[in-house]
Structure 1
Amino acid sequence: MKINVTILLLLLTLQLSAQNHVFVETESFQNKGGWVIDQQSFVVLNSSYIMAHGMGRPVKDASTTVKFPKPGKYHVWVRTKDWAPFPKGPGKFQVSVDGTPIKQIFGESGSDEWKWYDAGETDIKKNEIILSLKDLTGFNGRCDAILFTDAPKFTPPNKLDELTAFRKKLLNLGETPSSPGRFDMVVVGGGIAGTCAAISAARMGMKVALIQDRPVLGGNNSSEIRVHLMGDVDKNHYPKLGRIVREMDNGDPGNGNPDAKEYGDKRKIDIIKAEPNISLFLNTFVYKAETQNDIITAVVGRDIATNKETRFEGSFFSDCTGDGTLGFLAGAEFRMGRESKAETGESLAADKADNFTLGTSNLWASLPVDTVTTFPETPWALQFSDEYHIDKGKADWEWETGFGNFNTITQAEQIRDHNLRAIYGNWSYLKNNKKEKYAKQELAWVAYIGGKRESRRIIGDHILNQMDIQEGKFYPDGSVTATWTIDLHFPDAKNSKYFEGQEFFASTKHIKVAPYTIPYRCLYSKNIQNLFMAGRNISTTHVAFGSTRVMRTCGMMGEVVGFAASLATKYKTTPRGVYEHHLPELTAILKGETLAPQP
């Protein structure tokens, strides 16, 4: 029996080695044309993909050079989906080999599942060809990967585990990742919180890696999402806090401003690059954490365009991802959703615990133009009427999807797509039914990266709650002074009437609070020894999170984390050890009385 199994394995190996698979990741295309990289569903797909985000106008072709081991007949497989199959969606595109289009049209299958589609056979006549994608609509067609195989009966795997292994093997991702060396502090997430944490730690003398999964810094305050900064820094108990936030602050361009420059992307990156102690890694999605017991030793990230992997070793780590991604990967305790009144004693808590979270926004804006423009009918989008439509030429914070109907982490793509169906459907209605007002208006910008509000909250040694906020409790380790209202969103009643279960428009009730302080114990993990956190994923209840989540407040959290990390390094202790043994020194730094000596 052993001999037979050995022979079978040998034959299988020989059979596989005889096959030529040429696997092309679309995000690695050399020329993206007008297509954009989307990594928001990496946690679901284990990959990025490219998308034709043309706001109703076809984008320029994406193309790349592909090398083959030998010319010949190859079977072609295309991995894609129909993102709005009602019954067939708008994301149509074609694949061309050396300028010759494959006959099949992709992106209109009527299935919203990512899977491989059989594109038939093509004749590869030379060892190097040009592969291109042609967008046919401008309405967010997307493609994950393209496979060429000379094995006619081979079908690429669709199951995630099998596909991930297949993808890794053909991309040689099993090889040892590159290493930029060891860092004192590894900050994962380059929003306002993470950027401020990196700068704070670096200016205290720490060697810092700042890892961001997009090409820009700022997170929700970047030109990709365009949310203005809120929360005050001038009411702080500690005058040292807020200085770095001010450096990041590009003024108040409002939400969804059509001018990308108003959000200061270049300015943020220039500030980081001017810091000699910071190594910046953009376009890098951290998908793996290496741990020993309850200590993180390293994280591994993958470039969202090239798929190159990098391993970052560090002494301390800070989860500034918003989603609590690093904490989750490392096994940190976390909560997601609402606690009950019985559990927290909060009057604003839900009667029963549930998975309800605040939603995600994709902002948009239109601008006046000199001539009359048109916009197509959108039968695949949400349908509006004289009775109900949003009669505005731009979005603000109210355009929001989630509200417990979606998981903001695992269903990020569906949330974004639902927002797009609302935006395009409403705009189509305005353009075709209110021409007197919108005939000379044109969509100028629509966000394809979602601006999230809520997902995981990592549990620390203290969980901030409603009473802490409203009673203005000042704990000995009080650090960041927060000023924003308790701002918990819920579906707008009229929107619910017309789109029950598919809401995309929000309301809120602002509950004013006096300035209060967030304890330092909310800024490090309860059960992972060397993990800090800053941003919307800190240790709070759902109710308290409604106040702590705004970006100037989150930026100050990052500043505190940088200071605390320097003390943990100086005294060779943990984040908890700073609280237990070195709190007076941390407080002195926050007051601006002293700076810890550089390690």
Structure 2
Amino acid sequence: MKRREFFKNGVFGTVGFSVLGSSESKAKDKKKEKTVFSDRSNDNWTDLNGNKKHTPDRCQYLNFDVVVIGGGLAGICAAVSSAREGVKTVLVQDRGVLGGNASSEIRVIVNGVNHLAPNNTPERETGIIEEILLHNRFLNPQESWSFWDHVLYDFVEREPNLEVILNTQAIHAVMDGSSIKTAICWQNSTESELHISAAQFIDCSGDGLLAAKAGAEYRTGREASHEFNEKFAPKEADGWQMGASILIGGKDMGKPMKYTAPSFAKEFTLEHSHPKRKVRSYVEGYWWCEIGSQFDIIKDQEEIRKKLMGYAHGIWDYIKNSGNYPDAENFALEWIGSVPGKRESRRFIGDYILSEKDLTEHKHFEDAVAYGGWSLDEHNPGGIENMKEPPSYFHQRFKKVYEIPFRSLYSKNIDNLLFSGRNISQTHISLSSTRVMATCALMGQATGTAAALCVKNKTTPRGIYQKHIVELQDRLLMNDAYIPNRPNRQKNDLMKDAASIVASSTKSGNPELLTDGWSRDLPDSIHHWESKDLPAYVQCEWQEPQEISSLTIKCDTNVKKNIMMRNVYHKEIYSDIVPPELTKSLSLQARIDGKWVDISNVDNNQARRIQLNFDRIKTTALRVHVKSTYGADTAKLFELVALK
């Protein structure tokens, strides 16, 4: 491409594209046009391995069914759920580690529904985010943030239909009408340009550059209160967006530790600040070290980062050297972030815009696919540069969870584009609650599953809403997601036809509740069977022989306690060990031709949802033996689903 053509038409204006059917570019294909980023025609390379002149080829053409942009928890759950549905999926992450705000680079706690009023009761998310947190409990008992990065990497790398591409940002969308055809990405670690094509795209990147370049409608800032009849919105709309934070971590060294602030530290004091801005733990950091923006917060990010690094050191300098905190004498600054954790930027417009009253009035959506329950936690405009206001308003706490509709998770005007995370279709006030990462992870599982169904049914996300929403909800529930007010109605579940379900003993609940479609206890009803002791069994009987090839078992992990990594624990609602209630070993037997036959054995189980697949059998009864747990003296199960 000539220089004058580049400036006349823009970086991508004169580029033509075609996509190979394989996952790698063909060396012999020299006709594919490249953008200015991968043009190496002036690269004057002498390769001493053979003393030959070369021109580096740094452009690849990849083809998948589903592309997930953004490797935070929403993106991880989207990619894994899509891959598990049997479609070819790629996860593209712009950093060298996964996890987004939860990664070791930023270290934000994986909050979700973990402090419902009035007693700070959790209602922990299940599904894929539950698998991730349990995986971390087994692999990372020391709660190392750097090892947590590798736990996440292990979690995605073991999926056979999923490819992971790191250090890569999607920078442009090639369109085919109102659909994305190709995401053009830049991998900075290899100086490579990747053209990634797919049928469906999910933007879980937070800022949503790919979606913006595709032309997806979005807004930023705060809505006026009258637009959505929001009590906590400002009277007039403005551009303020919640800011980014840099966290710090201190460590008790057991001896006096001096601290000298670097040259870029910004002077800080809590004198005359709002009383809710306090120094508490010296270990966990201060989320109120935050700066927002009323303009283009993405464009402002580098200036925000510089300020935040200065303020973070200024806070620690104040703690160590002001004389107001003598008990900090032995503490040293062990870790400080350099990558700000973002809360808000673009919010893309879907077929429905989630707003304050949908949450506070617990609106029921027929297309609900996820839920939340974090407080309406709107941070003040300006953050640490607005010291007279509280760091966060915590407008309202929830007594129960609210629903998130599928229509807020796909684009209004781009046909094959979905969203998960803080960039979904919602108001600023709604975002103040839904933005926490465990809630975003639930959205990710929903969109990943939906994208796969789009591929299988050859339809769009809107088509899923219009014709396949029940199928989507059933898939999510089968895969251990929870949808408020929506039991599992799996059509082909043979357990629902059982003549009787009995147990060896019952301490609480009833074995017949294992087929009622609910995989957790609800505030006003129980939905489990619990034995009096171990070992124990539950047995299902049919009047006529049934052909069965799989059994799904949902066991107990005590969703009323949080298990995310946290430096400071409240033992009533947090646990830093593998849930003792979790089933460790069990076996499955079937009665075939009048005799009990061993079908499957599970040892060292590490999941809440146990999936047993086996060659199809013809049986009149199944018996699940729970042999042991990770510490509990009883067995507790919530659901059994048998399929042909």
Tell me which interval the TM-score lies in, with the shorter structure as reference length. 0.5 to 0.7
Aligned-residue offset at 1:425: 2.0
TM-score, normalised to structure 1, is 0.64
Deviation string, structure 1 residues 492-518 (Cα, Å, up to 9, x no partner) = 9997357xxxx9x82222412332211
Matching of residues 509-520 of structure 1 within 5 Å: 509-513=394-398, 514-520=400-406
- In structure 1, the residue matched to 2:112 is 231
Aligned-residue offset at 1:289: 1.3
Which of residues 140, 156, 169 in structure 2 aligns to 1:272?
156
- CA RMSD for the aligned pairs? 3.5
Q: Structure 1 residues 538, 567: closer, same or farther in 2, change over 3 A? A: same
Which of residues 565, 572, 579 in structure 1 aligns to 2:451?
565
Matching of residues 359-378 of structure 1 within 5 Å: 359-377=243-261
Structure 1: distance between partners of 2:183 and 2:384:
46
Aligned-residue offset at 1:343: 1.9
Matching of residues 123-134 of structure 1 within 5 Å: none
Q: Structure 1 residues 242, 329: closer, same or farther in 2, change over 3 A? A: farther
Q: Structure 1: state its 5+ residue gaps.
A: 1-8, 13-163
Structure 2: distance between partners of 1:303 and 1:557:
27
Asked if 1:416 is matched to 2:305, the reply is: yes
Which of residues 354, 374, 385 in structure 2 aligns to 1:464?
354
SS in 2 for 1:561: helix
Aligned-residue offset at 1:429: 3.6
Which of residues 377, 385, 393 in structure 2 aligns to 1:487?
377
Aligned-residue offset at 1:323: 1.0
- In structure 2, the residue matched to 1:215 is 96
- In structure 2, the residue matched to 1:582 is 468
Structure 1: distance between partners of 2:386 and 2:284:
18
Aligned-residue offset at 1:175: 8.4
**Greater mean deviation of Cα atoms: 563-572 or 529-538:** 563-572
What letter matches 2:109 in structure 1?
H
Matching of residues 88-107 of structure 1 within 5 Å: none
- In structure 2, the residue matched to 1:202 is 83
- In structure 2, the residue matched to 1:103 is none
Contact 1:360–1:408, Cα closer than 8 Å, also in 2: no
Aligned-residue offset at 1:379: 6.0
Q: Structure 1 residues 177, 540: closer, same or farther in 2, change over 3 A? A: farther
What letter matches 2:151 in structure 1?
R
Contact 1:240–1:590, Cα closer than 8 Å, also in 2: no
Matching of residues 25-174 of structure 1 within 5 Å: none
Contact 2:377–2:433, Cα closer than 8 Å, also in 1: yes
What letter matches 1:182 in structure 2?
N
Which of residues 423, 437, 442 in structure 2 aligns to 1:537?
423
Structure 2: distance between partners of 1:252 and 1:408:
33
What letter matches 1:325 in structure 2?
L
- In structure 1, the residue matched to 2:230 is 346
Contact 1:240–1:589, Cα closer than 8 Å, also in 2: no
Structure 1: distance between partners of 2:272 and 2:142:
25
- In structure 2, the residue matched to 1:320 is 204
Q: Structure 1 residues 421, 524: closer, same or farther in 2, change over 3 A? A: same
Which of residues 364, 378, 400 in structure 2 aligns to 1:474?
364
Q: Structure 1 residues 556, 373: closer, same or farther in 2, change over 3 A? A: same
Q: Structure 1 residues 301, 495: closer, same or farther in 2, change over 3 A? A: closer
- In structure 1, the residue matched to 2:292 is 403
Q: Structure 2: state its 5+ residue gaps.
A: 5-35, 45-54, 117-122, 479-488, 493-644
Structure 2: distance between partners of 1:271 and 1:445:
26
What letter matches 2:178 in structure 1?
D
Aligned-residue offset at 1:447: 0.8
SS in 2 for 1:402: strand
**Greater mean deviation of Cα atoms: 371-380 or 337-346:** 371-380
- In structure 1, the residue matched to 2:339 is 449
Aligned-residue offset at 1:179: 2.7
SS in 2 for 1:546: helix
Contact 1:383–1:425, Cα closer than 8 Å, also in 2: yes
What letter matches 1:443 in structure 2?
L
Which of residues 195, 213, 232 in structure 2 aligns to 1:329?
213
- In structure 1, the residue matched to 2:242 is 358
- In structure 2, the residue matched to 1:496 is 386
Greater share of helix residues, 1 or 2? 1
SS in 2 for 1:346: coil
Deviation string, structure 1 residues 373-399 (Cα, Å, up to 9, x no partner) = 433355643223584696553454532
Aligned-residue offset at 1:234: 13
What letter matches 1:420 in structure 2?
M
Q: Number of residues paired by the alignment?
A: 423
Deviation string, structure 1 residues 260-301 (Cα, Å, up to 9, x no partner) = 437721111111111010010011111111112211111122
Q: Structure 1 residues 200, 385: closer, same or farther in 2, change over 3 A? A: closer
Q: Structure 1 residues 470, 170: closer, same or farther in 2, change over 3 A? A: farther
- In structure 2, the residue matched to 1:126 is none
Deviation string, structure 1 residues 400-435 (Cα, Å, up to 9, x no partner) = 423335643111111121111112123234434438
Contact 1:462–1:521, Cα closer than 8 Å, also in 2: yes
Aligned-residue offset at 1:178: 3.0
SS in 2 for 1:422: helix
What letter matches 2:174 in structure 1?
E
SS in 2 for 1:358: strand
Structure 2: distance between partners of 1:299 and 1:200:
21
Q: Structure 1 residues 448, 280: closer, same or farther in 2, change over 3 A? A: same
Off by >6 Å, runs of 4+ in structure 1: 164-172, 492-495
Deviation string, structure 1 residues 158-201 (Cα, Å, up to 9, x no partner) = xxxxxx989988679x9875335310000000000000000000
- In structure 2, the residue matched to 1:47 is none
Contact 1:241–1:559, Cα closer than 8 Å, also in 2: no
Q: Structure 1 residues 231, 384: closer, same or farther in 2, change over 3 A? A: closer
Deviation string, structure 1 residues 87-131 (Cα, Å, up to 9, x no partner) = xxxxxxxxxxxxxxxxxxxxxxxxxxxxxxxxxxxxxxxxxxxxx
Structure 1: distance between partners of 2:197 and 2:336:
38
Contact 1:408–1:452, Cα closer than 8 Å, also in 2: no
